Amino acid sequence: MSQFNFTTLGQFIIERQHEFPYAKGELSRILRDIGIAAKVISREVNKAGIAEIIGDTGEVNVQGEDVKKLDMIGNEMFTTTLSRGGEVCAFASEEEDDMIPLKGTYSKHGNYIVCIDPLDGSSNIDVNVSIGTIFSVYRRVTAAGTEPTLADVLQPGNKLVAAGYVIYGSSTMLVYSTGKGVNGFTLDPSIGEFCLSHPDIQVPKDGKIYSLNEGNAADFPAGVQQYIAWCKDKDKNTSRPYSARYIGSMVADLHRNLLKGGIFIYPPTSKAPNGKLRLMFECIPMAFIVEQAGGKAHTGTERVLDVQPKELHQRVPIFIGSENMVNKALGFMNATS
């Protein structure tokens, strides 16, 4: 293939626009704006270490600006970009207590809602380990032109129109779906464009990687403890023992498992019966991507995408990844419940 024969994210979005529900170009513009926000956040992430050096005591940089935490930079980048666009009427973020109605000139007339986890895996920033951004897009349920309400945001994952994530790793990648499969784009810093690098991602039905914070094992339900023990058993026929891999950034752990096959679990624990991960900002969008790639995502009691959210910062346990691995883990859960 010629070195000039590549597809940028912008080109791909336009080529696929006819597949979108209500194909009026609004969702295309939202996705384009998310791509722009992702590039700016990627730039900020890349200079995270140096910002401390060029800043004065880490509080104020040489231009006299505050050195902001990366999660807040991501948050602001999204609100600013999406307010300008006018297709999005409200925004919800892991970093904000409440939903934010956007104040752009045309925002009230926007038909869409965007939810984000601006920086996922924030504890990994300081140690130069992969982090991410997670986003999801819903169509509002109240009438356009009126003030958006919480009902517009608290929609189950089966109502999503698009979701995706950005991983800031050895390269920056944006992976998204509008419900017609999953495609991945790698940022080429030399031209400043996301280029299609992983078309039609399919998660293998089986894998050899299990990812969870095993340090908490004593607080896990018996089913999860038994599943981990099973993963460690020796059995040539099922390629066990599996490998344990846990980065502590959901985006990075799931991205690896999506490409290689594997399971990621954040189980309920005796201290946190609903687990740790947030339904709206982490579990629903990642479940959408994984299902679109042919995998499975479950809370242990129901499909993640069928959970009706009751509050913005609700948490749920999650078993997500290769279908056969998730089914196996759920088998242990059911046998011990």
Residue 323 binding result from Mn ion, ligand AHG, none, given CB thresholds of 5 to 8 Å by partner type: none
Q: What is the footprint of Mn ion within residues 114-133 (CB under 5 A)?
A: 117, 119-120
User: Residue 332's CB: how many other CB atoms inside 10 A?
Assistant: 19
248 binds ligand AHG (CB under 6 A): yes
Residue 211: partners with Cβ closer than 8 Å, 6 or more residues away: 244, 245, 246, 247, 253, 256, 257, 262, 263, 264, 265
Rounded Cα gap, residues 1 and 142, in angstroms: 48
Is residue 191 a contact partner of residue 181, using CB atoms and an 8 Å limit?
A: no
121 binds ligand AHG (CB under 6 A): yes
Residue 225 binding result from Mn ion, ligand AHG, none, given CB thresholds of 5 to 8 Å by partner type: none
Among 245, 325, 276, smallest CA distance to 120 is for 276
Residue 213 binding result from ligand AHG, Mn ion, none, given CB thresholds of 5 to 8 Å by partner type: ligand AHG
253 binds Mn ion (CB under 5 A): no
Q: What is the footprint of Mn ion within residues 280-299 (CB under 5 A)?
A: 282
3-class state of residue 244 by DSSP:
strand
285 binds ligand AHG (CB under 6 A): no
Closest approach of Cβ 250 to ligand AHG, in Å? 4
95 binds ligand AHG (CB under 6 A): no
Residue 204 binding result from Mn ion, ligand AHG, none, given CB thresholds of 5 to 8 Å by partner type: none
Q: For residue 152, what is the enclosing H or E element?
A: helix 150-153
> Checking DSSP bridges between strand 88-93 and strand 112-120, what pairing results, if any?
parallel
49: which 2 tokens? 């270490």
> Checking DSSP bridges between strand 243-244 and strand 193-198, what pairing results, if any?
unpaired
Residue 18: partners with Cβ closer than 8 Å, 6 or more residues away: none
133: which 2 tokens? 């951004």
Rounded Cα gap, residues 268 and 34, in angstroms: 32
Rounded Cα gap, residues 215 and 229, in angstroms: 14
Residue 248 binding result from Mn ion, ligand AHG, none, given CB thresholds of 5 to 8 Å by partner type: ligand AHG
Residue 314 binding result from ligand AHG, Mn ion, none, given CB thresholds of 5 to 8 Å by partner type: none
Closest to ligand AHG by CB, 142 or 243? 243
Which position's Cβ is nearest ligand AHG? 213
Closest to ligand AHG by CB, 152 or 253? 253
Closest to Mn ion by CB, 111 or 122? 122
Closest to ligand AHG by CB, 276 or 296? 276
- Count Cα atoms within 13 angstroms, Cβ side, for 264: 30
Taking CB under 6 A as the criterion, the residue among 42, 122, 136, 269 binding ligand AHG is 122
Site string for ligand AHG, 226-245 (x = CB under 6 A): --------------------
Residues in the chain: 337
Taking CB under 6 A as the criterion, the residue among 7, 17, 202, 213 binding ligand AHG is 213
User: Residue 79's CB: how many other CB atoms inside 10 A?
Assistant: 22
Which position's Cβ is nearest Mn ion? 120
250 binds ligand AHG (CB under 6 A): yes
Interface residue list for Mn ion (CB under 5 A)? 94, 117, 119-120, 282
Interface residue list for ligand AHG (CB under 6 A)? 94, 117, 120-122, 213, 248-250, 276
